[in-house]
Structure 1
Amino acid sequence: MFELSLMCPEDRVETLSDALEALDALSVSVEDADAQTDAERALFGEPGMPAPAGGWQRSRVLALFPAEAVADEAAQLLSAQDFFEGCRVLGIQAVPDQDWVRLTQSQFEPVEITPEFWIVPTWHEPPAAARQIIRLDPGLAFGTGTHPTTRMCLRWIARNPQPGQRVLDYGCGSGILAIGAARYGATEIDAVDIDPAAVESTVQNAEANGVTLNAGLPELAQGTYPLVLANILATPLKVLAPLLCAYVTRGGNLVLAGILERQADELKAAYAPYAKLDVADSEDGWILMTARV
């Protein structure tokens, strides 16, 4: 394979990437051309949301092609386009053949939730100390155990098991929290999401873990639950305050995540008419908020 390397400004990244895909590039990736320098700029969004920008001020766009002649033709075609103004070809180089599946898998290791509770990709053996595990591979739906919000929710579940209880996972993503609740004794679990792809991901992950649950769109949720989990984002959590609190059985637990430390007071105010939220955990600038309703 051969890699075509291009430099472009931030406002051309999407157009250039689309053009490369139209030219049958096998893959297209974007890097910060100023990485590892004083000009490096972080570019991360909140969980489940796109990054705040499509690229960096100086972006390096890398495209893989099956042959050098194909990569060279793509470079010539792009250079002749009006939208290529401000961009330039950095070069074409051979890329050694690799086992890309194995290389990708090597980037994902088991994730510790507690010393006895781990998230383990299917290609890994569980750590010797693991007493509870969830088998979960990286996928399209948010919630692989690598983000602080997911880890904090799972830690809370491990420390507050709900044997024989109903549980609602609202905004289930991959279904990881619902599966975690099942691992710690919950027996009637509803997992809902507005995204049908997330619902399908939850079903598949539950089957892979031998867990029985109900997954569907939000209207699946009915009645009340001793435990309601919602790992979404601060803005929708504020809007959903009356709905989520109404789902909690009197005296039950509400567990919320996807909240930045600076958003704590906003969430407390939004939930004040229904419940008293407190910060129960924090990690890397994110917080877990809980309440007894």
Structure 2
Amino acid sequence: MTAEPAPAARLTELVLLAPEDQVETLAEALEALDALSVSVEDADAETPAERALFGEPGMPAPKAGWQRSRLVALFAEVSQAHEAAALLRLQDFFQGCEVVGVRAVADEDWVRLTQSQFAPVDITPTFWIVPSWHEPPPQARQIIRLDPGLAFGTGTHPTTRMCLRWIAQHPPLGQRVLDYGCGSGILAIGAGLFGAREIVAVDIDPAAVESTRLNAQHNQVPLQAGLPEAATGAFDVVLANILASPLKVLAPLLCGHVRPGGHLVLAGILERQAEELQQAYAPWLRLQVTDAEDGWILMTASA
């Protein structure tokens, strides 16, 4: 991407409390919301209620979290942290959890740290996401240049990979494509690489809109990026990688943008949420599960 790295002072931590049985789900949701990292700590550390939690050497810990766990999620922007907190509060699985607060992170070389943690990501054997500091693998034919940790969707999460995989398997040649909730613009860019004629990418966050514009320019993909009102008319493909609750609210709007014969592609959905999404979209379209990875699913429908 061509955007300058966010100043360290803008990096922000979202701190949450969660019971043991919600830690894994909450951590996965934070990753889907593009947290740069998620750490889990004992909320009762250094108190009489502290509990040891260690696995055998070389093995994972026996449980995902403590009876009362503190999750600390790092975000590139304070707006992302607040948006993540607001979206999580709407989820059914957030019952029993608590938002402790949002706080600034002390100065550190996060760009160097991020670069050390990310390598090229394969979507298909010939379709790769490659950070700017890496050379593309020789087998790559389609390449998205995107720097993980400096945007709102990097291709490392299963929901993003499944959406991009669907695009690669159903190339939108000459089609009009909408990326609703575009974040970094990665799905819109992917659609452009696979031949979309016209691409509209929208997000409620102006910072995401600007990130999409910059990433699209860097990847030489022409598109229109703006706030949600910029999405007008019907599209051959409508992509939305958000979370289940906002997807349910957006059902009539998203379905209304799919032209006859077009496709709706939804992600950010856990396997156990499939039926409620199908019910929410039933008045307009028949959703089906078409891909799954690490507990997340991709749901699609044809108009």
TM-score > 0.5 by shorter chain = yes
Map of 1:171-190 to 2, 5 A cutoff? Answer: 171-190=181-200
Which residue of structure 2 aligns with residue 204 of structure 1?
214
Distance in structure 2 (CA, Å) of the matches to 1:114 and 1:194: 30
Between the aligned partners of 2:198 and 2:107, the Cα distance in structure 1 is 50
1:109 aligns with 2:119: yes
Give the superposition deviation at 1:142: 2.5
Separation of aligned partners in 2, 1:246 and 1:64: 45
Q: 2:84 aligns with which of 49, 56, 62?
A: 49
Q: Distance in 2 between matches of 1:192 and 1:154?
A: 17
The alignment status of 1:32 with 2:67, answered yes or no, reads no
Question: What's 1:272 paired with?
Answer: 282
Q: What is the distance in 1 between the residues matched to 2:282 and 2:107?
A: 56
- Say what the alpha-carbon RMSD is for the aligned residues: 3.0
Equivalent runs, 1:1-293 vs 2, <5 Å: 32=41, 36-37=54-55, 38=62, 41=65, 43=71, 49-50=84-85, 101-293=111-303
Shift of 1:36: 3.9
Percentage of identical aligned residues? 67
Question: Residues of 1 paired with 2:132 and 2:275: CA distance?
Answer: 40
Closer/same/farther in 2, CA of residues 162 and 108 from structure 1, 3 Å limit: same
TM-score (normalizing by structure 1): 0.71
Unaligned residue ranges in structure 1 (runs of 5+) = 1-9, 12-28, 56-62, 67-98
- Select the structure with the greater relative contact order (CA < 8 A; seq sep ≥ 6): 2
The count of residues paired between Structure 1 and Structure 2 equals: 229
Partner deviation per Cα, 1:216-245 (whole Å, 9 max, x = no partner): 000001110010000001001011111100
Say if 1:253 and 1:196 are closer, same or farther in 2 by CA, change over 3 A: same
Q: Which is higher, the Rg of structure 1 or of structure 2?
A: 1
Pair 238,124 (structure 1): closer, same or farther in 2 beyond 3 Å:
same
Aligned-pair CA distance for 1:54: 6.1
Asked if the contact 1:169/1:191 (under 8 Å) is kept, the reply is yes
Q: Which runs of 5+ in 2 are unaligned?
A: 1-15, 18-37, 43-51, 56-61, 74-79, 89-96
Structure 1 residue 106 displacement after superposition: 1.6
Q: 1:244 to 1:31 in 2, by over 3 A?
A: closer
Distance change in 2, residues 1:65/1:218 (3 Å): closer
Q: Write the distance in 2 (CA, Å) between the matches of 1:175 and 1:288.
A: 18
